Amino acid sequence: MLKVAAFLFMCLIAFESNAFLVTTYNTNKLNYNLPTRILVAGAGDDLGTQFQQVARGKALKYSQQFPNEQIVLIAANEPDVDDKVVLKNWGFNFQLENKSTFNGDTLLDEAVKFNQIASIDIFSHSSAQHGIHLDGRAHRLTLNTKKIERLKGHFTKDAYTILHGCNAGFNLAPFLSSAWEIPVAGAMTSTNFQKLHNDGNFYLTEEGFFPNTDWATENNKSFNESVNCNTGMCLRLKPDNNPYTGFWGEYADGGLPFYKFFCVKNSLEICKRVMAKSLLSFIGNNNLKVNSTLAEYKNSLFDFLCPVSAKRDLRKECEENLESALVTGDLTYNPFTRNQVECDFKSCAAEIKCKGVLLTGIDKPGTCQLVNKFEGKATTIVREYKAYLEGFKNLNN
């Protein structure tokens, strides 16, 4: 048992680390005083450069929505890939290479240099217990990262953060919202890559999860102009519509099919307005604009909140039930395959519990479970829908 415990401990702390790169999108200059959208791509490990690819699509989206703002990508240096060349071909200009370990401390060291952060998007592996995996499981942004609050005060009005990796909404998202005093969104289940299909919807690429016809070859939905579907332009990360099952265990007792926002120290008015503005950067089946109509806004919102299925029209069912809830007042609609987790904008009535590895105090992989502490039918998705609609009224403010 001691040998097993020692092995698991080494697995969690002894991964080789690589340098990371700081790049700017479509400009050769880096200015720490400009309003800035920060994109972070953690090490892909078995996923190769896919985190960098979805960051590329997000960079294009931000550049079109906010042309006067700077876009910076901070990316793990992928082994066996010439990142400088690859990223240069995608429009990212190399600014510096940091030879330090890519972890929470060094990420914050870079981020704190910027004085007007408009948003942070982190694309990475992650877990409920151990936070954002920036460069393997050993090097992370976690609840225990020292002086994490030092980034507070470096954000613009209506700034936000979205954690795009698995299960980051359970602990880290509300923690960062409190530490940085901005709205932060995270997933309450596993997240997965979805690809644009020629029917205009995004689907998982696993067999049985998409229609038996062709994938799109260009994206004429999400951007100002049609773009080729190579290297990320038809790819996005989105929470699954089923509970997390993976390395750490099974969270069978609940989840949510969308990124849940937390606004621990923000007013409801600010929270809802920021949520609405964050939707402008969503890679979806509609190119939402700040002056879009309510109908266009709802189209993007349905794509963001609702799951999609190749076997039945789950998206339409979700749309109809969310709209019906506005009339009937019944807030209990649930498109998730299991129970919803009940959340407000401060926290969720759920907890992740794991068994420990003997004599180490380390969570034992495969033993973690979600404990759903809410009795009754949860109302999270309908209340979130209503909050986004209320935020739309102040989208231009």
Which alpha helices (DSSP H) does 122-182 contain, by range? 172-180
The arithmetic mean of pLDDT across residues 6-12, rounded, is: 38
pLDDT at residue number 368: 97
SS3 11: helix
pLDDT at residue number 206: 82
The arithmetic mean of pLDDT across residues 192-216, rounded, is: 91
Which pLDDT tens digit goes with each residue over 283-304?
Answer: 999 999 999 999 999 999 999 9
Q: What are the φ/ψ torsions at residue 305 (nearest 5 degrees)?
A: -85, -35
pLDDT at residue number 17: 53
Question: Out of 10-14, 66-70, 200-204, 257-261, which region has the weakest mean confidence (pLDDT)?
Answer: 10-14
pTM: 0.94
Which pLDDT tens digit goes with each residue over 115-150?
Answer: 999 999 999 999 999 999 999 768 999 999 999 999
DSSP state of 343: B
Helix (H) or strand (E) run with residue 333 in it: none
pLDDT at residue number 103: 96
pLDDT at residue number 232: 87
Confidence of residue 102 (pLDDT cuts 50, 70, 90): very high
Residue whose C-alpha is closest to residue 173's, from 261, 55, 265, 51: 261
Give yes or no for a contact between 363 and 129, defined as CB atoms under 8 angstroms apart: yes
More confident call, 33 vs 82: 33
Confidence of residue 4 (pLDDT cuts 50, 70, 90): very low
User: Could you give the CA distance from residue 299 to residue 287 in angstroms, rounded to a whole number?
Assistant: 10
SS3 128: coil
Residue whose C-alpha is closest to residue 305's, from 291, 325, 329, 290: 325
The answer on pLDDT for 354 being more than 80 is yes
More confident call, 5 vs 325: 325
Mean pLDDT rounded to a whole number for the chain: 93
Q: Tell me how many helices (H) and strands (E) the chain has.
A: 9, 20
pLDDT at residue number 291: 94
